[in-house]
Structure 1
Amino acid sequence: MAAAMVWWPRFLLLLCLTCKTSTFYVPGVAPINFHQNDPVEIKAVKLTSSRTQLPYEYYSLPFCQPSKITYKAENLGEVLRGDRIVNTPFQVLMNSEKKCEVLCSQSSKPVTLTVEQSRLVAERITEDYYVHLIADNLPVATRLELYSNNRDGDDKKKEKDVQFEHGYRLGFTDVNKIYLHNHLSFILYYHREDMEEDQEHTYRVVRFEVIPQSIRLEDLKTDEKSSCILPEGTSSSPQEIDPTKENRLYFTYSVHWEESDIKWASRWDTYLTMSDVQIHWFSIINSVVVVFFLSGILSMIIIRTLRKDIANYNKEDDIEDTMEESGWKLVHGDVFRPPQYPMILSSLLGSGIQLFCMILIVIFVAMLGMLSPSSRGALMTTACFLFMFMGVFGGFSAGRLYRTLKGHRWKKGAFCTATLYPGVVFGICFVLNCFIWGKHSSGAVPFPTMVALLCMWFGISLPLVYLGYYFGFRKQPYDNPVRTNQIPRQIPEQRWYMNRFVGILMAGILPFGAMFIELFFIFSAIWENQFYYLFGFLFLVFIILVVSCSQISIVMVYFQLCAEDYRWWWRNFLVSGGSAFYVLVYAIFYFVNKLDIVEFIPSLLYFGYTALMVLSFWLLTGTIGFYAAYMFVRKIYAAVKID
């Protein structure tokens, strides 16, 4: 036992390191080779803010525009994320320096922002908006150099910690004044590919950084060739934006190239390690060890208790004493009695199976690296299509369970399975989308995309659910080991700790403890616009979540049957999803302590989408716990002798 306790954490550490270092990713496109002075196109993606949660198109603000604006054709995931990738007027050539260039005007005349434009820019700056650009499909990042005391505790010696921020800030505020970052210093890193002597050198872009600056109009010197001279040192003042009047300013940029040893295959490492991964690793390992030990203890208790119960129940020479005992055997004639609303229960469980299959495949494929962040929107697109196609498995499981519960209206049950959960999701998203439309945000799903989603729902998912439901309903129902009595048994008065809400609180602690660390990183990726790519850890946490939900639901249904309460169908489904309650509590805590959202519509969006997450998580964990408990109940009643 002691040797196992020493070996197990080492195995987990090795597994986590393998998940981090050995996974590969398929970028989605082949590497692009550039030669000297080849154009490197800078594109804009969107404007985002963690305070408003409303993305906007790049040209929703009065930035300089090229002669012809061309939008990239987005996939479904990019549209749902609010990405609107468009070309920009920045002229960048491979390995070619530019000290200072003026945008918007060939004669180097300043740009005049109207009062309305100035007010809009000032509003976006005060809302902490970030601008997101890409070069060769690499997102721009802002370098942050943080200084901290060294490990020896000497305050005079500071250690420099380099971190990167996704995108760059549109501007900043200082003493009730608003300033715009109107000069961008691009720093692009390239890797020189090894070529033969008689061939021209080729380069690959491996990092894209920016240093945003705010430079006042009067401090910039320009000429007729659209060139400019930046002020030296700290002699310049920032460019203020007064929202009550017109503002004249320059939009300028510079380009600097640096050679890097980073190879093209590793160029995303900078973006995928923007958070402290060390804390993440050890927290996950700690959660894994704790959950497995708790699960082992619960398993030992339940197995030893069950063996004792079954041995006592099967004693042939002590039948009369056995019949006088109280316990789970006494409800054998009612334990498989169909519950109320069997159609709704089977429909919810079918949607849970649909979600389970979709999540398992997505996480596994992403862990193998086939849904890398360089393939924008691939994760969400894959999840949407997989959920549609997994309808056949959801329909099959719902149909077979519905027949087991003595249901007869299979067509109505199939329609309920295909529309109940997706209908709630679509309804909430449509209401939220109306508010986003009112804000003219790029996060609003366009009407053609919404029609396409409806066509996918009714043209792919619904027929597949009907197909699976038909074959599941025709298949032999689950073989229950005992017969159901005609007259229901009276249920004795239950103790306070057998209350349903108390059971939800008790059952939700262990599964939530298995994944709350991962939940923090997922929330940061969703609500604070961070990258998330530790799918190896996520797959491990998902397996632990399945194990913990299964064992907790088995323990809870065992206690309920020992209390001679045979109404376990709905109760077990609700209690097994108890960790969703803690997810909701954590979401409220995250909203209050981590986010700076004060307006009504951003708050509505946060809690609306959080409600969908909690509902989906409840369906997922409730389904896992239900089927684990159902298998357990069938197993224990098949092991005892029933007269």
Structure 2
Amino acid sequence: MEYRSRSIHKSTSIMISAILFLFLIHTSHCFYLPGVAPEDFQKGDPLKVKVNKLTSIKTQLPYSYYSLPFCPPKKIVDSAENLGEVLRGDRIENSPYVFKMREPQMCSVLCRITLDAKAAKQFQEKIDDEYRVNMILDNLPLVVPIRRLDQGSPTVYQLGYHVGLKGQYTGSKEERFFIHNHLAFTVKYHRDPQTDSARIVGFEVKPYSIKHEYEGKWSENTRLTTCDPHTKHTVVNSNTPQEVEANKEIIFTYDVEYQESDVKWASRWDAYLLMSDDQIHWFSIVNSLMIVLFLSGMVAMIMLRTLYRDISKYNELETQEEAQEETGWKLVHGDVFRPPSNSDLLCVYVGTGIQFLGMVLVTMIFAVFGFLSPSNRGGLMTAMLLLWVFMGIFAGYASSRLYKMFKGTEWKKISLKTACLFPGIVFAIFFVLNALIWGQKSSGAVPFGTMFALVVMWFGISVPLVFVGGYIGFKKPAIEDPVKTNKIPRQIPEQAWYMNPIFSILIGGILPFGAVFIELFFILTSIWLNQFYYIFGFLFLVFIILLITCAEITIVLCYFQLCSEDYLWWWRSYLTSGSSALYLFLYATFYFFTKLEITKLVSGMLYFGYMLIASYAFFVLTGTIGFYACFWFTRLIYSSVKID
């Protein structure tokens, strides 16, 4: 018994050291996925510029482009949007900007407006919150090139241009608001020398604030004195920016310049790899992955060697006296498969976790093969929602199979709980957040029609599929335990401090969190700092490592628990790996205070509300992986020893 205690102490110290060592790992990585089919343009062909939502990393509340009094076309036409685009807050509409392929335009007048007090205030608020205007040309988003101070570094790109800027006139301390009313567009194209057709490979802009001037009264043919339409490049003859004030006249103008590029159409998204200022080092990524894999291999080796010795020892016990002196995990064989308290809830969460696992696996496979590239706006979210709905059949099957093993008889009740518990909690949080967004009159608010469609998908497709899976699972023969369960439960001896349930559960969540900690920074950056995320290949590797680490840490801690003669492993196996969600939420909180500039209450509530949903989903996913690993492990070891 003393030898076993020393062995457990030693193994526990090794595990804790290995887990804490993982906190030294942190790095980054990216790669590109192709987009949709290309479109060829001949010289003089019209180019349709579309406008998208206004976005701000300070407020996280998107607004439609025409929520501000920009120059409108004769008729505003909304583009058809998929479910994912609507949920993301995208509002793609036509614009008055008229381009012709490979025909430069200089100082083209878009419109002239006079701001009233309300419109001026709207512009000032959006400028103060650092809102950006997003446009699209040939499915390529508009970017602003930003050159770094050090000449050796490549140009980075900012998605969209700022509505305006704040500043002061010389000799004045009063802060003023200035609007970007002149846009110098640059359209890059790759030309086919044989057909003379071209494909758009870049869409850039440099915004200017210019107080335009003209002679005489304004008319359609009025010529501006502040810029020359006959030059080949942008020439601004004014040093005075356009101030945003009530009753101020603002003239919107633009230039279009075309540049031939060697970049081929298939590589046109490569520039967006540089939108993050973080240096990406492949060697660091591979190194961190190898460390995680090495730690996982070490854990597996310790487990297999120790367990093999135990099984050999137990099977060598022949006499009755030796059998009565047995210690460790074999001693609790009559209680280890006793159904847990609140077993119905465990069945529900396990079924929901299987639903999540199926959704994530299929989504990542699609993404790795390029079906969910950044050019397919909203495709990722749409695919995830549809897969979640159709994976309901596996959720019902898993929950009812486990429920029947626990001697349950009402499979319809457990199927209904599986279909409604997790989606119901998420929908309630989402509904409250959507009400907050709607109160801010943001385009990010999900319309009533879309909300109704989500409810129809839930109750019209997902719930019936869960019941179908539940029926199939319940008709299967019940899973038989490898050992018999005693009628009277055995008393659990007093546990060591490190085997306290809360302590072991919190320790168990560190290693799975470490597997995703490498990538979590980039996921949060893409979501909250308005950048693209397309590193699905590496993310898939991280996910596989997450599965391995969740399984191994749960098995190890479950083994230590059983050796301490504590047979209440059902819920603890779920919570051990599921506790990684707590660390995820804590990291999201750290990210909020260190990387984001959110100051408004509603924006902060949105951030923590959505991160709470993400952490809850992560808890269900990782908890289920740990549970099934421990379930397989306990059945394996108790079926491997001779029990009278």
Task: Return the alpha-carbon distance in structure 2 between the equivalents of residues 282 and 578 of structure 1.
Answer: 30
| Residue-pair matches, total | 603
Cα distance, 1:322 vs structure 2: 4.6
> Residues 47 and 619 from structure 1, CA distance in 2 versus in 1: closer, same or farther, beyond 3 angstroms?
same
Alignment of 1:195-344 (within 5 A): 195=194, 201-218=196-213, 224-225=220-221, 228=224, 230-231=226-227, 232=235, 235-242=238-245, 245-275=246-276, 279=280, 281-317=282-318, 319-344=320-345
> Residues 215 and 397 from structure 1, CA distance in 2 versus in 1: closer, same or farther, beyond 3 angstroms?
same
Equivalent position of 1:167 in the other structure: 160
Task: Return the alpha-carbon distance in structure 2 between the equivalents of residues 323 and 253 of structure 1.
Answer: 90
SS of the aligned residue for 1:411 comes to helix
User: Which among 46, 59, 70 is matched to residue 66 of structure 2?
Assistant: 59
SS of the aligned residue for 2:149 comes to strand
Question: What is the identity, as a one-letter code, of the residue corresponding to 1:171?
Answer: G
Task: Return the alpha-carbon distance in structure 2 between the equivalents of residues 307 and 85 of structure 1.
Answer: 62
* Cα root mean square deviation, aligned: 1.9
Question: What is the identity, as a one-letter code, of the residue corresponding to 1:128?
Answer: E
Task: Return the alpha-carbon distance in structure 2 between the equivalents of residues 223 and 448 of structure 1.
Answer: 44
Equivalent position of 2:126 in the other structure: 124
Alignment of 1:29-48 (within 5 A): 30-48=37-55
CA displacement 1:273-319 (0-9 Å, x = unmatched): 42367525334322211111111111111111111111111113355
Task: Return the alpha-carbon distance in structure 2 between the equivalents of residues 70 and 181 of structure 1.
Answer: 24
Equivalent position of 2:348 in the other structure: 347
Alignment of 1:476-625 (within 5 A): 476-625=477-626
User: Which among 89, 92, 96 is matched to residue 85 of structure 1?
Assistant: 92
SS of the aligned residue for 2:275 comes to coil
SS of the aligned residue for 2:525 comes to helix
SS of the aligned residue for 1:161 comes to coil
Equivalent position of 1:426 in the other structure: 427
Question: What is the identity, as a one-letter code, of the residue corresponding to 1:96?
Answer: E
Cα distance, 1:504 vs structure 2: 2.6
Task: Return the alpha-carbon distance in structure 1 between the equivalents of residues 43 and 222 of structure 2.
Answer: 23
Cα distance, 1:228 vs structure 2: 3.9
Contact 2:433 2:609 in 1 (8 A): yes
Task: Return the alpha-carbon distance in structure 2 between the equivalents of residues 36 and 228 of structure 1.
Answer: 28
CA displacement 1:247-296 (0-9 Å, x = unmatched): 22111111000001111111111124423675253343222111111111
CA displacement 1:107-135 (0-9 Å, x = unmatched): xxx41011011101100111111110000
Equivalent position of 1:7 in the other structure: none
User: Which stretch of structure 1 is more off in the superposition, 507-516 or 380-389?
Assistant: 507-516
**Identical positions, percent:** 52
Equivalent position of 1:185 in the other structure: 184
SS of the aligned residue for 1:252 comes to strand
CA displacement 1:466-506 (0-9 Å, x = unmatched): 00011111112223211111100001112222223212321
Task: Return the alpha-carbon distance in structure 2 between the equivalents of residues 314 and 412 of structure 1.
Answer: 43
Task: Return the alpha-carbon distance in structure 2 between the equivalents of residues 478 and 280 of structure 1.
Answer: 48
Equivalent position of 1:358 in the other structure: 359
Task: Return the alpha-carbon distance in structure 1 between the equivalents of residues 46 and 301 of structure 2.
Answer: 66
Question: What is the identity, as a one-letter code, of the residue corresponding to 1:131?
Answer: V
Scaled by the length of structure 1, the TM-score of the pair is 0.91
> Residues 88 and 508 from structure 1, CA distance in 2 versus in 1: closer, same or farther, beyond 3 angstroms?
same
Task: Return the alpha-carbon distance in structure 2 between the equivalents of residues 189 and 177 of structure 1.
Answer: 35
Equivalent position of 1:152 in the other structure: none
Question: What is the identity, as a one-letter code, of the residue corresponding to 2:159?
Answer: H
CA displacement 1:120-173 (0-9 Å, x = unmatched): 11001111111100001100000000112xxxxxxxxx5353100111111111
Task: Return the alpha-carbon distance in structure 2 between the equivalents of residues 143 and 501 of structure 1.
Answer: 51
Q: Gaps (5+ residues) in structure 2?
A: 1-27, 169-174, 228-234
Cα distance, 1:226 vs structure 2: 6.0
Contact 1:272 1:532 in 2 (8 A): no
Cα distance, 1:206 vs structure 2: 0.7
Cα distance, 1:323 vs structure 2: 3.0
Cα distance, 1:409 vs structure 2: 1.1
User: Which stretch of structure 1 is more off in the superposition, 264-273 or 596-605?
Assistant: 264-273
Question: What is the identity, as a one-letter code, of the residue corresponding to 1:169?
Answer: H
Task: Return the alpha-carbon distance in structure 1 between the equivalents of residues 244 and 630 of structure 2.
Answer: 63
Contact 1:102 1:227 in 2 (8 A): no
> Residues 171 and 642 from structure 1, CA distance in 2 versus in 1: closer, same or farther, beyond 3 angstroms?
same
SS of the aligned residue for 1:47 comes to strand
Task: Return the alpha-carbon distance in structure 2 between the equivalents of residues 523 and 577 of structure 1.
Answer: 20
Task: Return the alpha-carbon distance in structure 2 between the equivalents of residues 393 and 123 of structure 1.
Answer: 49
